[in-house]
Amino acid sequence: MTTIDPRTRVRRLADRAVGDRSVLDAVLADGAVGTLSTVVDGLPWAVPMLYARIGDAILLHGSTGAGALRRVAAGAPACLSVTHLDGIVVADNLFNSSANYRSAVVRGRLTSLEGVDAETALVALSDALIPDRSTEVRASSGKELAATLTLALPIEPGQWTVKARSGPPSAGDRAPGVWAGVVPLRTVAGAPERASWVPDDVPVPASVRALQQG
């Protein structure tokens, strides 16, 4: 195994830890997919998952094989990482080029959904992805609810970290004639693509139209 030359140093970006719980909630609310990490046989293990927050719990919905997710469910410590890439920071040199971002990491132990019934959880997860879609479709059946495993990661004081970078590049050389600045990035929804079995006179629902407005 190679070790790192101690003469090298980590280059820190201008990131900033943010301590306000409302900022954590805002970072979580702006996304629907995070990376859940845990330890399996002493090694790091990670998987992308859909999530939603209800109060002091982050609900997680599996997008992986049952075996691996059960290891997490059995109570292993876990952390969820959520990152939004907000912009590309273009400096007048490579060293100061960077990214504007917001990120949250929440640490804890996964539990079952104490105090949250399966239907509430499924609605919250749906609303995180497609706000208000739950008002447009039938209620979930008992069979569907029984087949849904949603886990919760508690949000506890001292067990989460929010970091962010925003604004222009570090001044660098201010080299004459060299452009520097920020290219903002955002996620946009394209035109809805109707499933083949849906007649073309079925209107696009309000929840889907709202996604187009961002």
**Site residues for its own copies, window 93-122 (CB under 8 A)?**
93-95, 97, 99, 101, 103, 105, 107, 109, 111-112, 114, 122
Q: Is 10 in the site for its own copies (CB under 8 A)?
A: yes
Q: Which two tokens stand for residue 135?
A: 């008002």
With tokens 């079952």, the residue in question is: 112
174 binds its own copies (CB under 8 A): yes
Pick from 79, 153, 155, 162: which binds its own copies (CB under 8 A)? Answer: 79
> Any idea what the Cα angle at residue 126 is, between residues 121 and 128, rounded to 5°?
95
The least distance separating its own copies from the CB of residue 25, rounded to whole angstroms, comes to 19
Is 157 one of the binding residues for its own copies (CB under 8 A)?
no
**Which distant-in-sequence residues (6+ apart) come within 8 Å of 109 by Cβ?**
75, 76, 77, 78, 153, 154
Tokens of 112: 């079952």
Distance of CA 129 to the CA centre of its chain: 11
Asked if 126 contacts 95 with a C-beta cutoff of 8 angstroms, the reply is: no
User: Pick from 23, 64, 116, 120: which binds its own copies (CB under 8 A)?
Assistant: 64
Please choose, out of 18-26, 29-37, 51-59, the segment that lies near its own copies by the rule CB under 8 A: 29-37
Q: Does 19 bind its own copies (CB under 8 A)?
A: no
Q: How far is the CB of 187 from its own copies (least distance, A)?
A: 5
How is residue 65 written in tokens?
């094989």
Query: Which member of 26, 54, 116, 163 binds its own copies (CB under 8 A)?
Result: 163
E strand spans, 24-159: 33-40, 43-54, 57-61, 77-90, 98-109, 150-154
- For residue 62, the minimal CB distance to its own copies (Å) is 5
User: What are 18's two structure tokens?
Assistant: 């943010």
Q: Which stretch binds its own copies (CB under 8 A): 19-27, 51-59, 79-87?
A: 79-87
Window 184 to 203, contacts with its own copies (CB under 8 A)? 184-198, 202-203
Should residue 57 be labelled a site residue for its own copies when binding is judged by CB under 8 A? Answer: no
Minimum distance from residue 50 beta carbon to its own copies (Å): 6
What span, in angstroms and rounded, lies between the C-alpha atoms of 110 and 116? 14
C-alpha to C-alpha distance for 133 and 123, rounded to whole angstroms: 9
Question: Which residue, 22 or 174, has its beta carbon nearer to its own copies?
Answer: 174
